[in-house]
Amino acid sequence: MADSGKSSTVTPVAVLGAGSWGTALAIQFARAGRPTLLWGREASDLQALANDRCNRRYLPEAKFPDALCIEPDLRSVVAAAHDVLIAVPSHALRALLTEIAPSIRDTQRLAWATKGFELQTGKLPHQVKIPMAVLSGPTFAREVGKGLPTAMTVAATDESFARALAVSLTSHNFRAYTSDDIIGVEVGGAVKNVLAIGAGMSDGLGYGANTRIALITRGLAEMTRLGVALGAKRETFMGLAGLGDLVLTCTDNLSRNRRFGLAIAAGKSREQAQAEIGQVVEGVQAAEAVHEVATKLKVDMPICEQMHAILYKNVSPTDAVKQLMSREITSES
């Protein structure tokens, strides 16, 4: 593996995925002084990014730093980079990994900012490819793009790589912490999206603050149970990539998953709500994947189970709440 000292911080990083989150991370790398190459699938979109020096569709107020360059050729961007960061939806991760595999060198390092289980297999991102590093935490792309104070977690099996990425991202307005618990960080990023849809539904139905905080707290317990069953560390879920990301996504309307839940509560269908959001709502597919994994591992996740029933079995949100509130009394632990 390549040296991860100061020299790596001035070599290019490639960000694959020019959506809102990929663009925001590319801006932050460049803002922190790292030469950054940004690639996306659509050539016309990339030309607009290059001409406008901003992503007018997702982050119109965030101008690109001089260190950020748009690169339309996937093979060229991978060849030019020291580190490669993938920021595409979970359902597109495997295909992109397969596409770039022939171009990855032994001296390169791979990271991803993809949140969720792979729908077809129920695998976490690190199980789809040799694990390297994952970036996650309570972050909205728009706020990162604006340069508002933000903190997130970088988890890797190689401590030096985690630190190198953290250093590359950190600036006066952005702080990155390191972790060695890739599984915990990935599980937190997947399950919180399912729970955020539930929080949006709850608020949309007018259930109030008591219900919202009960959902967040008990949802955190479900997230932790699943993570531990998969080999994660319990304490990870009390940090930025667990509790932090969960609270953020459940309580602020910048969250696509929360807004999706609000739309469902307003009587819109899954398809109508998705069209209204206009971007990938990771929690919809995550609800099915989490259901499959939890069932396989026999992990009790009643809130996530009801979310799956609402989204895939035509159960109404009010009936799901009745089901949850009528469960047998158990210990909180």
The confidence score (pLDDT) of residue 3 equals 38
* d(C-alpha 282, C-alpha 191), whole Å: 10
- State the pLDDT confidence band at 124, using cuts at 50, 70 and 90: low
Asked if the model's pLDDT at residue 2 lies above 80, the reply is: no
Asked if the model's pLDDT at residue 235 lies above 70, the reply is: yes
Mean pLDDT for the chain overall? 91
* d(C-alpha 318, C-alpha 284), whole Å: 19
* d(C-alpha 219, C-alpha 199), whole Å: 10
- State the pLDDT confidence band at 1, using cuts at 50, 70 and 90: very low
The confidence score (pLDDT) of residue 69 equals 97
Q: Which residue out of 6, 192, 313, 322 is catalytically annotated?
A: 192
* d(C-alpha 41, C-alpha 114), whole Å: 16
Asked if the model's pLDDT at residue 99 lies above 70, the reply is: yes
Asked if the model's pLDDT at residue 228 lies above 70, the reply is: yes
Mean pLDDT of 103-123: 78
Is 192 known to be catalytic?
yes
Contact 19, 58 (CB under 8 A): yes
When comparing pLDDT for 7 and 63, which is higher?
63
> Which tens digit of pLDDT belongs to each residue from 126-159?
655 554 899 999 999 999 999 999 999 999 988 9
- State the pLDDT confidence band at 7, using cuts at 50, 70 and 90: very low
Q: Which of 92, 73, 179 is nearest to 131 (CA)?
A: 179
Instruction: Calculate what percentage of the chain has a pLDDT beyond 70.
Output: 92
> Which tens digit of pLDDT belongs to each residue from 172-225?
999 999 999 999 999 999 999 999 999 999 999 999 999 999 999 999 999 999
The confidence score (pLDDT) of residue 283 equals 94
Mean pLDDT of 275-303: 94
- State the pLDDT confidence band at 55, using cuts at 50, 70 and 90: very high
CA angle 47, 75, 6 (to 5 degrees): 95
> Which tens digit of pLDDT belongs to each residue from 210-222?
999 999 999 999 9
Asked if the model's pLDDT at residue 119 lies above 60, the reply is: no
Contact 87, 19 (CB under 8 A): yes
Mean pLDDT of 163-170: 95
Pairing label, strands 133-136, 68-70? unpaired
- State the pLDDT confidence band at 122, using cuts at 50, 70 and 90: low
Pairing label, strands 59-63, 54-55? antiparallel
The architecture in CATH of the region 190-325 reads Orthogonal Bundle (1.10)
Domain ranges of the chain: 6-180, 190-325
Class of domain 6-180: alpha beta
